[in-house]
Amino acid sequence: MLNKDAQLNPKVFEKDVEQLPIRQGFGEGLLDAGKSDKNIVALCADLTESTKMDAFAKAFPERFVEMGVAEQNLAAVASGMAAMGKIPFIASYAMFSPGRNWEQIRTTICYNDRPVKIVGSHAGVSVGPDGGTHQAIEDIAIMRVIPRMTVLTPCDSIEAKKATLAAAEHPGPVYIRLAREKTPIITTEETPFEIGKAQVFYEASDTPIIGIIACGALVHNALLAARLLEEEGIGTSVLNLATIKPLDRESILAFAKKHKAILTVEEHQVAGGMGSAVAELLAQEYPLPMKIIGIQDQFGQSGTPDELIKHYGLDVISIATAARVLARKSS
């Protein structure tokens, strides 16, 4: 059952649940942050509308810089602006930022501890027909490994807005990972959000067996799979891990100790992603049976978002199937 303390959308399991692009919440949050703090500036690499920076650009043209297709310059200029007291948000497709400008993010931003907020939109295979060249499925790995970097993966538009506002106030560099497609609205304005804190979204109604830890756009699929498993008598809970770094060690360990096995779900390579971060913690402090669902050492490809999610085993049925196998092994 849904965790009442999380104050989630009561229509989350209904077919007509409202859907909005996660990136839209970023655009709304950036605009609100700009209204609250004149030091907020925005820089984009020729993707102003796609990344939803357009509302900020129209409201504050003197605080918006169109950098063109120059992602390395995008990061370096933002670092310089941060050194002069500004709070820059830089945005592009995740494949190009942080994909193309990783060294500038590492050395120019993080090494100098500049409060630049890197926004990577169109992450994951659900980008769809753009294909493997534009589907960032390595970005969590390359960003969480950088010292001083905070990594956020909001699950819906509302959480993305909260993450953006929180990032604006965070003193160091932050990476916010966004999806392209419309995603079911899971949270509400009342749902708590705090950088570094995970939240139980779904609680097993009976004996907890499988604990699913999910992030980003796949949290909804994880919730649907949990409800399906509950109907089969497999006690299942879901933890929304909106912050990949710093990892909420306390919540993850408490969650793991309530279950017989852990299943992680992400739209990212299994190597180095959210599941790897969870495994690194559990292997050292509370070993238990675990499986990571994600992309298995492959590139993306062209297709509809639904086709690709199913092809890579990230759909509801695939999640539930993996959970059943894990439940049998851990019984």
Q: Which residues are catalytic?
A: 71
How far is 170 from 168, CA to CA, in rounded Å? 6
Cβ proximity of 134 and 122 under 8 Å: yes
Convert the chain into a string of H (helix), E (strand) and C (coil).
Answer: CECHHHCCCCCCCCCCCCEEEHHHHHHHHHHHHHHHCCCEEEEECCCCCCCCCHHHHHHCHHHEEECCCCHHHHHHHHHHHHHCCCEEEEEEECCCCCCCCHHHHHHHHHCCCCCCEEEEECECHHHCCCCHHHCECCHHHHHHCCCCCEEECCCCHHHHHHHHHHHHHCCCCEEEECCCCEEECCCCCCCCCCCCCCEEEECCCCCCCEEEEECHHHHHHHHHHHHHHHHCCCCEEEEECCEEECCCHHHHHHHHHCCCEEEEEEEEECCCCHHHHHHHHHHHHCCCCEEEEEECCCCCCCCCHHHHHHHCCCCHHHHHHHHHHHHHHCC
Length of the chain: 331
Cβ proximity of 217 and 57 under 8 Å: no
The two three-digit tokens of residue 158, written as one number: 């509302």
Which residues sit opposite 183 in a β-bridge? 20
How far is 178 from 94, CA to CA, in rounded Å? 8
